[in-house]
Structure 1
Amino acid sequence: MPRTPFPRTLEVHARGHGMGATMEERGRPRAGRVTRFLLWCGAVDTGHLASRTELYRYSMVGVFVLLVALMAGITFTLYASIIAGAFQPAFLAYAAVWALLIFCLDRSIVGEPSYGGSRRSGPARAVFFGARVVLAVIVAWLIGDALVLMIFRPEIAEETARVHERQAAEARQRAVARLEFRAAELRKQLAHNKDLRDAAARAAERARKRYVEEAKGISGTGLVGYGPAAGDARTDYLDARGELRRVRKATALQDAGYDRQSAALTRQAVALGRGGDKAVAAVPGLKKEIDAIYANNGWLTQLRGLSAFMDANRDPAIASLPWLVRGLFVTLDLMPLSMKALGRWTIYGSRQRAEFDRQMGRDRLRADLDRARDRLEFDTAMTRESWRHDWRMDHMRTAPQNTNGVRR
């Protein structure tokens, strides 16, 4: 029997005294603006909330969705700052996008209805939830390392300083080796010039000796005096002595420069080996290389410092801390998913399934009605066609005939 509606005055009077129009409206818990916002964050259908317990519970779902998104934005900013070595305002925009992505993802998870009768959506839901778990593990691993780097920042800074000192010492040693190599090359050039002078001196001495022996008749033609052979020998001697003077003059200028450069490089290598900012600044490019070493405080450098610190300290508490942090982040990140997985046994979940069953029943009834209507239309069309056929046959049998027996 249809319910008699309230008159307008009585309805206003009843609502003014806290009475609803129906039992469902009177029994439904009321929610404030903040609670409605939290329920919206949790993608909760307020029409299925049966009690204040359910209201509070699913408000906490929205709280966790918000907190996980906020945590994602903060940790993204932290992670980007550690990788870049310093905070940059542009990181906030990227963090907001990442937080919005995590918020929408978790909201879609907690808002996905738990329909017990929908078997086809089981594999797809498992893949979707599995992807969320994998994402949570990856993010927890990276963010956990970033948080561990913050926790052990003093120890990592100390280890990183030692690594920088070692790398700077290696850079100075490489510079010293380059200086010593250049000095050795100059000394080789000095030795080569000395060999050139010695060879020219020996050639000049041989020419002089041949000239003297030719003039004295000791060798050569055996004739004493300055004949044509002696003149040729004298010419060769003069040429050899001129070549000796030329070589000495040329190598003397080179040796002076080589000797100064070699001595300067040797002094520079010794000073650089002893250390000092002046010695470092005197080597081209070395100060820039060492400054780049000390300025390298990025992600990989800090991870190396953390690894060195972990290797130096075998305390089980220190070794287990990164895993505890990662597990904590995984647990927090998967809290909305966990609450969703446990929500199918609540009153809210049962109401969702009941609504699904009703909708499925209406869909099946609508499908049955459609099939029945199609069948009725088909039967009607067949009956109409049969009736038309019978009418034509009766008309042909009852038609009058002419005298020749032919129907007219």
Structure 2
Amino acid sequence: MLKQFFILCSGADTDILNDCSNGEQNKYAGIGATVFFTAVMATIAASYALFTVFDNLYTAIFFGLIWGLLIFNLDRYIVSTIKKRDNVISEILQATPRIILAIIIAIVISKPLELKIFEKEINQVLLEQKNDLTLANQHQIAEQYNPKIAELETEISSLQSQIETKESEVNALYDTYISEAEGTAGTNLLGKGPVYKEKRDKHDAALTELQQLKTVTTTKIEALETQIATLQDNYTTTVETSQPIIDNFDGLMARITALGALPWLPSFFIFLLFLAIETSPIIAKLLAPKSEFDYKLQDQETAIKTWTLQKVEERKLLIKTDNTINNKVYNEVADEKDILNYKRKQARILMQNQADAFLKQQKGIL
């Protein structure tokens, strides 16, 4: 039962193969088994690749089975269409397009399995890439907010500088009127005279201005600090919103790119393994000598070809003979007087009808 299933997978003509030796049947069963297990590997590889895309097990398995059946059908077609010839060069030319197709299939099958085999290494590469993307993302977002924040902070510093300047002015006026009272500066007279009172009034006026300036400036600084806090909150929100996109940066294309960052030699040997599996039925048929099945298949095909060509030639000969007979018959009939008189009579009637029709048309125009 299993042997017959693998023979069916090989694409060989079972009616012919059943009349062949047991060894010949085993050879094609082996070719069919290779085709079948290649399709199984393709199903597994496609299911894993699609799972990284859809993140749904049942969807991945469903489409993986479809892909496996497609690969199975292609491999079966490739193997079944390679026929042994008497010319080695003709066989190689016949197999070349199929080998190219087998190489493409091997690449498609091996890549998802490489992703699974090197999953830990790929995860490490992806982690490094995510960290780089996170830092780059934060830097790019910061460039949107930092200039405005710096501008507001500069404005706050300017307001605080105005307060400090005014405080220095008030402190200087304070020192001036105190020195006047102590008699250590100004008039150098001890006591609170008119000059002291004038300097004290100037200090008090400046102090009042300082308090008003502090009140107004504090309100402005609080408003500016509120804007800065809002911008910082917006920055944090933007970073938190964009971070999940970076965290989900582990799709199929990202993993293939990360695989390319790893050493190429292990991946290359895995590709060679699948290439050997995929092309082994083709290579086996090319290297194997012409066997019993090939001769019987050739006998069946040439018999049909010969019979078809024979019928085509017979039809050509039939047409040629029929044309010769028709020409001879019409040449003999052309010389008979009755035929000539009848044709002359019919031509006269036709010309009369044409003349009547033309006259009727002209009258209608007039």
* Same fold, judged at TM 0.5 (above): yes
2:265 pairs with 1:320: yes
Inter-partner Cα distance in structure 1 for 2:115 and 2:71? 24
Does the aligned pair in 2 maintain the 1:344–1:350 contact within 8 Å? Answer: no
2:359 pairs with 1:359: no
2:247 pairs with 1:294: yes
Letter in 1 for 2:63: Y
Measured against aligned partners, the alpha-carbon deviations of 1:142-166 in whole angstroms (never above 9, x if no partner) come to 4434323322222332333333334
SS in 1 for 2:242: helix
Give the number of equivalent residue pairs: 293
Letter in 1 for 2:249: N
2:26 pairs with 1:56: yes
Which ranges of structure 1 fall in alignment gaps of 5 or more residues?
A: 1-32, 199-243, 269-279, 311-318, 394-408
Measured against aligned partners, the alpha-carbon deviations of 1:53-107 in whole angstroms (never above 9, x if no partner) come to 11111122222222222222221112222445x4432122222222222222222
2:80 pairs with 1:111: yes
Does the aligned pair in 2 maintain the 1:144–1:329 contact within 8 Å? Answer: yes
* Aligned position for 2:69: 100
1:54 to 1:388, Cα distance in 2 relative to 1, 3 A: same
Taking structure 1 as the reference length, the TM-score comes to 0.56
Inter-partner Cα distance in structure 1 for 2:309 and 2:69? 39
Report the alpha carbon displacement of residue 328 of structure 1 after superposing the two structures with TM. 1.3
Measured against aligned partners, the alpha-carbon deviations of 1:155-186 in whole angstroms (never above 9, x if no partner) come to 33233333333433444555666665443221
Does the aligned pair in 2 maintain the 1:65–1:103 contact within 8 Å? Answer: yes
* Aligned position for 1:25: none
Which ranges of structure 2 fall in alignment gaps of 5 or more residues?
A: 165-209, 338-366
Does the aligned pair in 1 maintain the 2:82–2:94 contact within 8 Å? Answer: no
1:294 to 1:189, Cα distance in 2 relative to 1, 3 A: same
Inter-partner Cα distance in structure 1 for 2:47 and 2:316? 59
Inter-partner Cα distance in structure 1 for 2:211 and 2:128? 58
1:138 to 1:45, Cα distance in 2 relative to 1, 3 A: closer
Inter-partner Cα distance in structure 2 for 1:380 and 1:113? 47
2:66 pairs with 1:66: no
* Aligned position for 2:237: 284
Letter in 1 for 2:245: A
Report the alpha carbon displacement of residue 322 of structure 1 after superposing the two structures with TM. 0.8
Inter-partner Cα distance in structure 2 for 1:380 and 1:304? 77
1:380 to 1:117, Cα distance in 2 relative to 1, 3 A: farther
Measured against aligned partners, the alpha-carbon deviations of 1:124-148 in whole angstroms (never above 9, x if no partner) come to 956xx52x44443334334434323
* Aligned position for 2:129: 163
1:143 to 1:371, Cα distance in 2 relative to 1, 3 A: closer
Report the alpha carbon displacement of residue 320 of structure 1 after superposing the two structures with TM. 1.7
Does the aligned pair in 2 maintain the 1:73–1:95 contact within 8 Å? Answer: yes
Inter-partner Cα distance in structure 2 for 1:321 and 1:300? 19
1:134 to 1:196, Cα distance in 2 relative to 1, 3 A: farther
Letter in 1 for 2:68: A
Letter in 1 for 2:247: Y
1:346 to 1:184, Cα distance in 2 relative to 1, 3 A: same
2:221 pairs with 1:255: yes
Report the alpha carbon displacement of residue 115 of structure 1 after superposing the two structures with TM. 7.1
Does the aligned pair in 2 maintain the 1:116–1:353 contact within 8 Å? Answer: no
Report the alpha carbon displacement of residue 325 of structure 1 after superposing the two structures with TM. 0.7
Q: How does 1:42-53 map to 2 (within 5 A)?
A: 42-49=10-17, 50-53=20-23
Report the alpha carbon displacement of residue 345 of structure 1 after superposing the two structures with TM. 1.8
Does the aligned pair in 2 maintain the 1:44–1:58 contact within 8 Å? Answer: yes
* Aligned position for 1:274: none
* Aligned position for 2:58: 89
1:254 to 1:69, Cα distance in 2 relative to 1, 3 A: same
Structure (1 or 2) with the greater helix fraction: 2
Letter in 2 for 1:81: F
* Aligned position for 1:38: 6
Does the aligned pair in 2 maintain the 1:76–1:98 contact within 8 Å? Answer: yes
Letter in 2 for 1:57: K
1:107 to 1:142, Cα distance in 2 relative to 1, 3 A: closer
Taking structure 2 as the reference length, the TM-score comes to 0.62
Inter-partner Cα distance in structure 2 for 1:359 and 1:171? 71
1:117 to 1:307, Cα distance in 2 relative to 1, 3 A: closer
Letter in 1 for 2:236: V
Report the alpha carbon displacement of residue 385 of structure 1 after superposing the two structures with TM. 7.4
Inter-partner Cα distance in structure 2 for 1:153 and 1:41? 33
